[in-house]
Amino acid sequence: MKFKWALIAVVLSIVTVLTGCEPLTVLDPKGPQAERLAGDIMLTIWIMLGIVLVVFTLLIVMLVKYRASKQPEEYEPPHIEGNKWVEGIFVGIPIIIIAVLSFISVQSNYIVESAPEGYGDKEPLVVYASSSDWKWHFSYPEQGIETVNYLNVPTDRPLEFRLYSYGPITSFWIPQLGGQKYAMNAHVTKLHLAADTPGEYMGRNSNFSGEGFAENKFDVTAMTQDEFDEWVDEVKDTAKPLSEEKFEELLEPGHLGRLTFTGTHLDFSPAPEHHMDGSEDGEDGHMEADEHQSASSEESSSQGHNKHNE
pLDDT of residue 308: 37
* Cα–Cα distance for residue pair 285/5, rounded to 1 Å: 71
Which residue type does 64 have?
A: V
* The CATH fold of domain 125-273: Immunoglobulin-like (2.60.40)
Helix boundaries (H) for 239-277: 244-250
* Cα–Cα distance for residue pair 304/310, rounded to 1 Å: 10
pLDDT of residue 212: 87
pLDDT of residue 15: 61
* Cα–Cα distance for residue pair 174/202, rounded to 1 Å: 6
Q: How far is CA 14 from the centre of its chain?
A: 29
pLDDT of residue 215: 87
pLDDT of residue 43: 94
pLDDT of residue 287: 36
Who's near 260: CB < 8 A, 6+ residues apart?
A: 145, 146, 147, 148, 235, 239
* Cα–Cα distance for residue pair 236/229, rounded to 1 Å: 11
pLDDT of residue 275: 53
- Taking CA atoms, 60 is separated from 49, 57, 64, 66, 67, in Å, by 17, 5, 6, 10, 10
Among the listed residues 154, 158, 206, the one whose alpha carbon sits nearest the alpha carbon of residue 180: 206
Ordered per-residue pLDDT tens for the chain, 310 residues: 566 676 677 667 766 655 555 668 889 999 999 999 999 999 999 999 999 999 999 999 988 887 777 778 788 877 878 888 888 988 999 999 999 999 999 999 999 999 998 887 899 999 999 999 999 999 999 999 999 999 999 999 999 999 999 999 999 999 999 999 999 998 999 999 999 999 999 999 999 988 888 889 999 999 999 999 999 999 999 999 999 999 999 999 999 999 999 999 999 999 998 655 444 443 443 333 344 334 433 443 444 444 334 3
Q: What is the pTM of this model?
A: 0.77
- Pairing assessment for the beta strands 145-148 and 150-154 based on DSSP bridges: unpaired
* Cα–Cα distance for residue pair 4/8, rounded to 1 Å: 6
pLDDT of residue 288: 39
Q: Give domain limits for the chain.
A: 26-62+87-114, 125-273
